[in-house]
Each structure stands twice: as C-alpha cells, then as structure tokens.
Amino acid sequence: MIPVTQTKVNVKNSNGDTVVYGNCFAAVIASMLEVPITEVPNVEVFFHMSHPHWSIIMDTFLKSKGWELWGDDRYRCFHTGLITDQDEMDKAPELCEQLKDSYYLASGLSARGVHHICIYQNGQLVWDPHPSREGLKTIDTFQTLEKIT
C-alpha cells in the first residue's frame, strides 16, 4: 500500500447540495493498487445518479488490473464495538488472527459529515486520503480487494 491523497473534496452550494463529490474512493483504490490516482476512473462524477454506474465502472477497471472488490464483514472482528451478536464476538479473536496485517477499506461518516472511505489494518486507521487526515467518526461497511486467481 502506497498512500495517495484525494485530489477533489466535497463542495456544497449555499443550499447544502453537493455540487462536487470528493474522490476518496479513487484515492484508496490507487493506494491499494499502488498506482497514481490518474489511472483510477473518476467514478465520483456518477455518485449522484440512482443507477450505480460508478460501481460497474470501478468493477470493470479492477478486473482489468486483476482485482475484485468485495464487501467483507469479517473485518468487524477488529471493531468489536460494532459487534452485537455473541456468536460473532466469540469468533472474533480467531478471525482477527486469520486476517492479521491485511489492509481493508472502511466506509462511514467523516468528521465533515460526508460519506468517506479510509484504509485500515488490524483495526487501526493507516490511511485517510482526505487532506485533513481526520479519519472516520463512524464505520458502516468493510471491503477488501482480492486478487483474481
């Protein structure tokens, strides 16, 4: 993983509507693939659409590079405050040992009140692509990049 800073941040108009979406997602993908952000599609231009065009574009790009992006709740084991099920809590130590030192993506709300994504390892923030480097206030989802075999 080579840290890449996002080149666009969210901008809202006087009504509070987002007029520019940040490219934190492209930045974490660039970081994980260790490529310049200019090689990653600027999918943030599609975030306002109801159809998930951005997801299709990113999936196609990742596959062309030999990778797939997966939702992966196993990484909750490092964030026990998010676990409400006793069975999941009991399995967390073993699962954390299996996933130890793996990088993963965590999404949630930033301190700025916008949806954001960062890179974590072993339950610790290792890279926030936003220039503030503030990280996440909440975590909602986990994802991982997997090499296509």
pLDDT digits (tens, 9 = 90+) for 126-148: 999 999 999 999 999 999 999 99
Q: Measuring CA to CA, which residue among 98, 29, 96, 100 is closest to residue 61?
A: 29
Q: Measuring CA to CA, which residue among 11, 12, 6 is closest to residue 25?
A: 6
- Range 36-39, long-range pairs (CB < 8 A, 24+ positions): 36/4, 37/4, 37/6, 37/7
Q: What distance in Å separates the CA atoms of residue 61 and residue 40, rounded to the nearest whole number?
A: 8
Amino acid (1-letter code) at residue 93: P
Q: What is the pLDDT of residue 86?
A: 86
Strand 67-71: give its sheet, edge to edge: 67-71, 141-147, 103-109, 115-121, 124-127
**Residues in the chain where the model's pLDDT stays below 70:** 50-51
pTM: 0.91
Q: What is the pLDDT of residue 51?
A: 66
